Amino acid sequence: MRREARRGTLSEATSGNAARREKLEPGRHTAGTPGRATNGGRSRPTSPPLTAAVPPPRLLGLRGAGSVPGARTTTGYGMDLSYGSEIEAFRGEVRSFLDANWPPKGDDASLSREEQTRRFRERATAAGYLNRHVPKQYGGSEQPPDALRATVIREEFARAHAPTEPRGIGTMMLVPTLLERGTDWQKEKFVQSTIMGETTWCQGYSEPGSGSDLASLKTRGELRDGEWIINGQKIWTSSAMEADYMFCLVRTEPDAPKHAGISYLLIDMKQPGIDVRPLKQMTGSSEFNEVFFNDARTPEDWIVGKRGEGWLVSRTTLKHERNGIGAAAQAVGTFQALVRLARETRIDGKPAIEDPAIRRALVEVEGYVRAHEYSGYWQMSKDLKGENAGVIQLMNKLNSTNIGHRFAKLAMEILGDEGLLAPSSHGLGLGIQSTSDWIAQYMSSLGVAIAGGSANIQKNVIAERGLGLPRDAAANRSK
Ligand SMILES: Cc1cc2nc3c(=O)[nH]c(=O)nc-3n(C[C@H](O)[C@H](O)[C@H](O)COP(=O)(O)OP(=O)(O)OC[C@H]3O[C@@H](n4cnc5c(N)ncnc54)[C@H](O)[C@@H]3O)c2cc1C
């Protein structure tokens, strides 16, 4: 069954290539370890670059043309994609900083990875490259908004595999929300420790029966004697086991229309009224949980925004999550890892990248990555001109998660039987480095298409807000 499924998948890309089917027999695949010259007697192939369908300099995995790799150039079709000399000079500054600081050198080289990362983040923030939107008084670098500089930083940090801000839900979602809507004391108490990775958060939105239709949530918050008393249940709460605090949507005005009856509370997770139960995933790990509230408590002023405004406040958070997930730079880096995998894995004694079906599938995926990358530039141009990016912006998350799944499926095709091994248990924060990372990427790519609003819901949003089609009938019914 499984073999059939694998053939079926690749045949979409190969249109019935009989020779390819021959090659997908069990036991013929051996995967090398990306980044190593030799591995257990398997040598790194001296494969030719992908020449037939895609000229090497234009392939993302083989970019090398031009004096400054990564710098945008004129396409030759009358469109200037360069960022201009001022921004390219800035790129040079970022590169010098990275050359001096990452990977760690001197005494820093012998420190633990955690400490290396912490020190690097401090230096990068002091240099103005990280935490740019966070005021200095809360530990940020307080840089003026500059989409081009921010993009260059993202590109160069990705190229150098250097750490960026901690990727937790606290930095990505809570900090921007507090900066926009929190009180002064809330910012002082929570922002700096969160961007330094010292305080961790989980997001208490989804409930059984209230995922896509989130505004129907039932967990109650009642104000009694200067405290919110919370009762109910959340589900799919990522990292709830480890988190210090939760930002949570609760129903505080039961008689108001459903969107107007919700408040956004901050809750200490380490208290007797909260019971966290891990949910086992197919990866074998338990990254998300059920959370039960039984007279859990939080002080009256641990509310962000006003009573009943939680829906509005939560939209601020979601906006930031969508932008975070949609970054094209990550897709480019993962594609490069995929090309490496195809070079270093052997099928029938030859590098997988020499297999015409694999090459064709790689080129197809590259087309999606390119389209995503250039959509990103289009969106950025619109932003810089103060124009609404419209449907392009709405498509960002959907494209990003679709591409992530395509990557992972193709990696499984390349890995063959090795794709049945156990996935890696550590996170993919520093990129894909091994076979088991690819397996974890494959499994997690399914969940990413659901987290933060499912792909179907995202399509509804694109249709309704982007293309002006009629409202979803199901959504109208549940008002
Ligand atoms: C990896 C992962 C991490 C998560 N982390 C968190 C977290 O930390 N905190 C948190 O609160 N939640 C979290 N979630 C939950 C996530 O937000 C929900 O799973 C998601 O919103 C979908 O809700 P649901 O699971 O209830 O599915 P449902 O809403 O029941 O949807 C089931 C299916 O029906 C489709 N569907 C539903 N309504 C419509 C419609 N109107 N039109 C078309 N199709 C529709 C959906 O697309 C989906 O395919 C996480 C989920 C995942 C996978």
Residue 212 Cα to ligand 1 middle (Å): 5
Which residue from 163, 158, 178 is spatially nearest to 122, judged by alpha carbons?
163
What are the beta bridge partners of residue 229? 222, 297
Catalytic residue of the set 155, 165, 207, 321: 321
Per-residue model confidence as pLDDT tens digits over 391-407: 888 888 788 889 989 99
Assess whether 29 and 113 both reside in one domain: no
Assess whether 207 and 312 both reside in one domain: yes
Assess whether 413 and 431 both reside in one domain: yes
pLDDT for position 160: 94
pLDDT for position 392: 84
Assess whether 293 and 255 both reside in one domain: yes
- 473 lies in some domain: no
Assess whether 122 and 153 both reside in one domain: yes
Q: What angle do CA 448, 122, 141 make, to 5 degrees?
A: 85
Assess whether 314 and 335 both reside in one domain: no
Mutate to test the pocket of ligand 1, among 235, 289, 450, 469 (most ligand atoms within 8 A of CB): 450
- 170 lies in some domain: no
pLDDT for position 338: 94
How far from each other are the two terminal CA atoms of the chain, in whole angstroms?
Answer: 44
* Residues found in the chain: 479
Query: CB under 8 Å to 377, separation ≥6 — which residues?
Result: 81
Assess whether 426 and 399 both reside in one domain: yes
- 190 lies in some domain: no
CA distance 350 to 10: 18
CA distance 205 to 237: 8
Greater pLDDT, 164 or 473: 164
Per-residue model confidence as pLDDT tens digits over 274-323: 999 999 988 888 889 999 999 999 999 999 999 999 999 998 865 554 44
The boundaries of the domain holding residue 91 are 85-159
Does pLDDT of 34 surpass 50? no
Domain containing residue 30: CATH number = 1.20.140
CA torsion 93-94-95-100 (nearest 10°) is 90
pLDDT for position 24: 34
pLDDT for position 389: 79
- 453 lies in some domain: no
- 380 lies in some domain: yes
Tally of domains within the chain = 3
In the chain, the percentage of residues whose pLDDT exceeds 70 is 78
CA distance 359 to 278: 41
Q: Are strands 345-347 and 350-351 parallel, antiparallel or unpaired?
A: antiparallel
Residue labelled with tokens 């200095």: 136
227 phi and psi, to 5 degrees? -140, 145
Assess whether 135 and 221 both reside in one domain: no
Q: Which of 318, 349, 364 is the last residue of a domain?
A: 318
Does pLDDT of 330 surpass 90? no
Assess whether 114 and 207 both reside in one domain: no
Q: How many C-beta neighbours within 10 Å does residue 478 have?
A: 12
Encoded tokens for 65: 């043309």
Q: Which of 318, 337, 352 is the last residue of a domain?
A: 318
Per-residue model confidence as pLDDT tens digits over 349-360: 999 999 999 999
Mutate to test the pocket of ligand 1, among 200, 217, 236, 461 (most ligand atoms within 8 A of CB): 236
Does pLDDT of 12 surpass 90? no
Q: Are 220 and 264 in contact (CB under 8 A)?
A: no
pLDDT for position 328: 75
pLDDT for position 474: 65
Which helix (H) or strand (E) segment holds residue 18: the answer is helix 18-23
- 69 lies in some domain: no
Q: Are 164 and 157 in contact (CB under 8 A)?
A: yes
pLDDT for position 147: 80
Helices and strands: H and E segment counts in the chain? 15, 13
The amino acid sitting at 9 is T
Does pLDDT of 11 surpass 50? no
Residue 398 Cα to ligand 1 middle (Å): 14
Domain containing residue 284: CATH number = 2.40.110.10
Assess whether 207 and 134 both reside in one domain: no
Greater pLDDT, 399 or 55: 399
Per-residue model confidence as pLDDT tens digits over 213-234: 999 999 999 999 999 999 999 9
pLDDT for position 430: 54
DSSP 297: E
Which residue from 149, 198, 201 is spatially nearest to 173, judged by alpha carbons?
201
CA distance 266 to 36: 46
In this structure, the residue with its CA closest to atom 2 of ligand 1 is: 451
- 461 lies in some domain: no
Assess whether 277 and 333 both reside in one domain: no
Per-residue model confidence as pLDDT tens digits over 409-423: 999 999 999 888 888
Domain containing residue 121: CATH number = 1.10.540.10
Residue 234 Cα to ligand 1 middle (Å): 13
**DSSP H helical segments within 257-390, as ranges?**
310-325, 328-344, 356-384
pLDDT for position 422: 81
- 73 lies in some domain: no
Burial class for 349, CB neighbours closer than 10 Å (0-12, 13-18, 19+): exposed
pLDDT for position 8: 33
What's the chain's average pLDDT?
81
pLDDT for position 75: 52
pLDDT for position 15: 37
In this structure, the residue with its CA closest to atom 26 of ligand 1 is: 211
DSSP 220: E
Ligand 1 residue neighbourhood (C-beta within 6 Å): 202-206, 211-212, 236-238, 288, 447, 450-451, 453-454, 456-457, 460, 472, 474-475
pLDDT for position 376: 82
Q: What angle do CA 436, 290, 423 make, to 5 degrees?
A: 5
Assess whether 209 and 284 both reside in one domain: yes
Q: Which of 98, 128, 159 is the last residue of a domain?
A: 159
Query: CB under 8 Å to 182, separation ≥6 — which residues?
Result: 190, 304
